[in-house]
Structure 1
Amino acid sequence: MIRTKTIVILGLAALAAGCAATSRSAPTAAEARPVKELRPGILEGYLPLGGAPSSLAIVPPPPTAGSTAQARDDEAAKAAVAQIGGPRWKQAAEDAVLKFPEAAGTFSCAIGAPVSKTETPRLYMLLHRTLTDVGFSTYPTKTKYQRPRPFMVNGAPTCSPGDEPDLRKDGSYPSGHSAIGWGWALILAEAAPDRAAEILARGRAFGQSRVACNVHWLSDTEEGRVMAAATVARLHADATFEADLAAARSEIAAARAKGLAPSRDCAKEAAQLAGQ
C-alpha cells in the first residue's frame, strides 16, 4: 500500500511537471487542521489517498493497435501535429501548466472574475486541492497500461518540451490534465451556474489542449472526463469540500459585485482557443 501511494504521488508530480514549491496554506474556518503538502506545490486533497473512485473499475482498457478507436486517435493526433506552432498550440502550452498560482486563473475568463489567494482564497484552495483528488483518480489505469504518448509514437514535438522526460515515464491513458480540467469545470459550473456554458466549454477546451500539445490521444482526454465526473460526484459527500464550494460561490459573487477583472487576458485566450 505504501509503495502504491508513493507511485501515485510521484505520478502526480510528473503530471504537474515543473511545479514550484508554494507556502503552506492556512486552515480555513471549515477545516480542523492545516492543509498539508504531499510534495512541494501539491496539496493534500479532500479525499484520502485511494478515496477517489478507481479508474480500473470505470474506464475500459485503452484502444489497441489496429482498432477503429486507435485509428480515430491517430487522425486526431495527425490533425494536431498539422497545427504545431499556431495559436491553438500556444494556448495548449499555457494550459499545460498545472503549478499554482499560474494554474488558478485557467477559468478566470470563463467565470468572469479573478482567481487568486488574495481575492478569492477559498476558490483558490478549492481548485488547488481538487487538482490532487481528480488527478489521483486516473493513476490506477495509467500505471497498469503505461500507454505511450503521441509524441513517443509520431516523433513530432510537443508544446511543453521541458515536461517530456517525465511524460515518457507517465502513462498517457487516461489524461490526468483532462480529468483535472473537466473536474474544475464541473465544480465551477456549480459555483457560477450563470456561466456554466462558458465554464464547461473551457473545460472541454482544456482537455483538447492535451491533444493539440501532442502529449495525449483523443481517447485519453475523453476517459479523463469520465474520471473527473466520478471523482466530483464522490467529493460532494465530503463536508469540507461542500463548505469550500459554498464559500467559493460567495467569493465569485463578491468579486463580480466589485467589478474585479479576470486574471487572464480574455481576448488573447479566446483568439488562441479559436486558432486565430
Structure 2
Amino acid sequence: MKKSCVPLYLIAPLAGLLCSGLAAASDTGPTVTDPHFKLAPGYLEPASLPVRLALLGGPPKPDSAAFARDEEARRAALALRGSAREKLAATDAELTFPAPAKSFSCALGTDINEKKTPHLYAMMQHVLTDAGGSTYAGKNAYNRTRPFVQHDEGTCRKDMEPVLRTDGSWPSGHSAAGWAWGLVLAEVQPARATELLARGLAFGQSRVVCNAHWQSDVDAGRIMGAATVAVLHDNPAFLADLAAAKREVQDATKANLKPTEDCAAERVALSLSMH
C-alpha cells in the first residue's frame, strides 16, 4: 500500500517531522496509568510512538510567565462553573465508548456508531490508545500536579478524581486524543473539516474548563496528538481503516444518518468562552 503523509495544513507546526520515522526511547514504552488509554489496542507499537523529548521541553516552572498564563486560564475557567460549557466538559471527560463517538457526531454531521460506521468507530478507539499513550513519557517524567489538587478544588467529574490525583498532568492525554480525532475525522470528511477541527480543540479545552488540567498541559497534548497522527500515516492498518471510514461516512451521508445528539445544545455550550 502506498504510504502517505497527513496534509501539511492540518499539522503545520510539525511539518518537519511528518513521515520522519519518529521513535520512542524505549521498546516497551512508558507505563500508562489511566485505564481509558488501554481500552483497545493501538495501531502503533510502543517503539513507534512520538518522542516527547524531541517535541516538547517540560512543563512551566512555578515562577515563569507560562505558569502565570496557566493560572490566568484556570481563573477564567472558574467563571464557567455550573454552565452548559462545564456540563459539556464533564461529557468530554468520558473516554469510554460510545461517549467519544457521540462527542464528535455533531461536528461530523453524521452519527458515529458501531453498527453503521464500524471502521470509523473502531479507528477512533485505536487512535485514543496511541494518542493517549504518547503523553505518558512526559506524564511519568514530570508527574506534574493537577490544578484541582494544587488548589484543593474539585473538577467537573468527581468520580474521576482518584485516578487523576496520581496521573501526571502534563501533557494532557484527553487533549492529545481530542486533537488527533479532530485531525483524522477532518480527513474522513473534508467538507466538515472546520467543524471537526474546532471540536477537537474544544475537546481539549474542556480539560481546563473541568479544572483537570492546566492550559499548558492541553497545549502540549495537542502537539503530541498531532505528532501521533503524523506517525499513523505510515501505518498500513490505520490507512486501510481510514479509507474504509471515508466510504462509511459517504454512505451514511447519502442515507441521511443524522447525529442522535442534541447538536443545538452542543453549539450553545461551545459558544460559552473562557475569554
- TM-score scaled by structure 1? 0.86
The SS at the match of 1:261 is coil
- How far did residue 154 of structure 1 move? 1.7
Q: Distance in 1 between matches of 2:28 and 2:69?
A: 33
Give the aligned residue type for 1:52: L
- Structure 1 residue 119 and structure 2 residue 140: aligned? no
- Tell me if the contact between 2:34 and 2:167 (Cα under 8 Å) persists in the aligned partners: no
What is the CA–CA distance in structure 2 between the aligned matches of 1:264 and 1:210, rounded to whole Å?
21
Tell me which amino acid in the other structure corresponds to 1:187: V
Q: How does 1:69-80 map to 2 (within 5 A)?
A: 69-80=66-77
**1:168-214 deviations in whole A, cap 9, x for unaligned?**
10000000000000000000010000110000001111011000000
Answer yes or no: is 1:66 the counterpart of 2:68: no
- Unaligned stretches of 5+ in structure 1? 17-38
Q: How many residues align?
A: 249
The yes-or-no answer on 1:43 pairing with 2:43 is: no
Moved more, 82-91 or 204-213: 82-91
Shift of 1:244: 0.3
Distance in 2 separating the partners of 1:97 and 1:129 = 16
Matched, 1:147 2:144: yes
| CA-to-aligned-CA distance 1:229-259 (integer Å, 9 cap, x gap) | 1110000001110010011011111111001
Partner residue of 1:206? 203
Instruction: Check whether the contact 2:30–2:137 (CA below 8 A) recurs between aligned residues.
Output: no
Aligned 1:135-214 pairs, distance under 5 A = 135-214=132-211
Which of 48, 51, 54 is residue 54 of structure 1 equivalent to?
51
Q: Structure 1 residue aligned with 2:257, among 257, 260, 269?
A: 260
Counterpart amino acid of 2:202?
Answer: A
Aligned with 1:44: secondary structure? Answer: coil
Offset at 1:91?
0.6
Equivalents in 1 of 2:142, 2:29: separation in Å? 17
Superposition deviation, residue 45 in structure 1: 0.4
Whether the aligned pair in 1 keeps the contact of 2:27 and 2:47 (CA below 8 Å) is no
Give the drift of 1:6.
7.5
- Residue in 2 that maps onto 1:236: 233
Partner amino acid for 2:48? G
What's the offset of the Cα at 1:155? 2.0
Q: Which stretches in structure 2 are left out of the alignment for 5+ residues?
A: 1-24
Alpha-carbon contact 1:12-1:135 (below 8 Å) kept: no
Give the partner amino acid of 2:63: G
Structure 2 contact 179–197 (Cα < 8 Å) conserved: yes
SS of the equivalent of 1:156 reads coil
The residue number in structure 1 matching 2:34 is 12
How far did residue 274 of structure 1 move?
1.5
Identity of aligned residues (%): 49
From the superposition, tell whether residues 3 and 194 of structure 1 become closer, same or farther in structure 2 (CA, over 3 Å). Answer: closer
2-side partners of 1:3 and 1:57: how far apart?
16
Alpha carbons of structure 1 residues 200 and 3: separation in structure 2 relative to 1, 3 Å = closer
Output the CA distance in 2 between the equivalents of 1:52 and 1:106. Answer: 25
- Give the 3 Å change call, closer, same or farther, for CA 227–100 of structure 1 in structure 2: same
| Separation (CA, whole Å) in 2 of partners of 1:264 and 1:51 | 36
CA distance in 2, matches of 1:203, 1:92: 12
Contact 2:176-2:222 at 8 Å conserved across structures:
yes
Q: Distance in 1 between matches of 2:55 and 2:233?
A: 19
Contact 1:45-1:130 at 8 Å conserved across structures: yes
What residue is the counterpart of 1:21 in the other structure? none
Q: How far apart in 1 are the matches of 2:91 and 2:269?
A: 10
Tell me the SS of whatever aligns to 2:47. coil
Q: Structure 1 CA distance, aligned partners of 2:157 and 2:29?
A: 27
CA drift of 1:12 comes to 3.4
